Amino acid sequence: MTHYKEVTIYDIAEVLKVSPATVSRGLKDHPGIRKDTKRKIVDTAKKMGYQHNTFASNLRRKKTNTIGVIVPRIESHFHSLVISGIEKVANTMGYNLIISQSQELFKNEVNSIATMFNSRIDGLLISLSNETKSTDHLEMLLRKKIPLIFFDRVIEHPDCTRVVIDNKKAGYDATQHLLKQGCKRIVHMDGPINRNVYADRLEGYKQALQEVNINFDSSLVINIELTDKAAAIAAQQILKMQPLPDGIFTANDISAVSCIRELKRAGIRIPDDIAVVGFNNEPIATVIEPNLTTIGYPGREMGEIAASTLINKLNKTNVTNLNTIVLRHELIIRQSSQKKK
């Protein structure tokens, strides 16, 4: 096997018969170096295959211009939009990204944070896994004064900013819409309630029922993983309910679509028999028939704001003292929930 020697500034200096310091200044476009000398240095470096050791340089400056990003699932449409927003801001501001996914496992999240810490990230943007219950594994970053921004799936911490939507209000809006359609027996298909987004959507569901004097019935709340398979099983559970519900509010679109598919196979008419509302406004919401009513919220904007907030903290510019930044959401009404009057 052939081994290639790394080209250094000393090799370039030897070829050009100048000092290594001159080569170093020439490669950095130093104004004290003559233009013709600078051009010779750059051209020779290219011909010799010189690679600037950015990592070593960054270590000397104690800054790597690298931001870590951890999401539950990269394949999620919402999280891909968030990453797109983060990347747009990071690229504009001269930062690189290390992106990882927890796949909803706490141990993966811990391992990713350790890897990013050892890679000397300047800051971290994170949406927590469903299994995460504390911030203990993040203390290594906070002790080193590495800024941390939570987005979407968050946890309270006095030293960290959170970027979210008002999930309680969103859950309320979805449930209230079903109530306005005449629904009185509404199932809520929810995720793990230790996670803020699902706990808050459940609270919004309860509030909407309370306002119209409908007692909360815990038997109508189904906690699942919100996957296609789990929702299909939950749909079979719904079909056994006596009496059948007349509305379903699910905490994501994947579960809503899976539920609609199973109910239709059983002869249930959507929305005449059971009206359905999802959450997230995924592309699949406009593929299922009837099209899915859902809660939409701006993933790309959330990514941009989270990244901007972090970089402002790193650069100590326009630093916000807000502990929580709340973005807008909207109820997108489609056919799946509109009962015929």
Topology match between the domains 64-166+299-328 and 167-297+331-337: yes
CATH class, range 64-166+299-328: alpha beta
Q: Please give the pLDDT value at position 319.
A: 66
- Domain boundaries, given as residue ranges, for the chain: 9-52, 64-166+299-328, 167-297+331-337
Q: Please give the pLDDT value at position 318.
A: 67
In CATH, the number for domain 9-52 is 1.10.260.40
Q: Mean pLDDT, 10 residues at a time, over the chain (341 residues)?
A: 68 88 83 86 85 57 85 93 96 94 95 91 95 90 92 91 97 98 97 93 98 96 94 96 96 96 96 97 95 96 96 82 90 93 61
For the chain, the first-to-last Cα distance in angstroms comes to: 78
Alpha helix locations (H) across 102-251?
Answer: 106-118, 139-143, 167-180, 196-211, 228-239
287's tokens: 């593929």
CA distances from 5 to 11, 22, 223 (A): 11, 22, 59
Measured CA to CA, the distance from residue 103 to residue 181 in angstroms comes to: 37
CATH entry 3.40.50.2300 includes domain 167-297+331-337: yes
195's tokens: 């996670």
* Contact status, residue 145 vs residue 309, Cβ threshold 8 Å: no
Q: Please give the pLDDT value at position 1.
A: 46
pTM of the shown model: 0.82
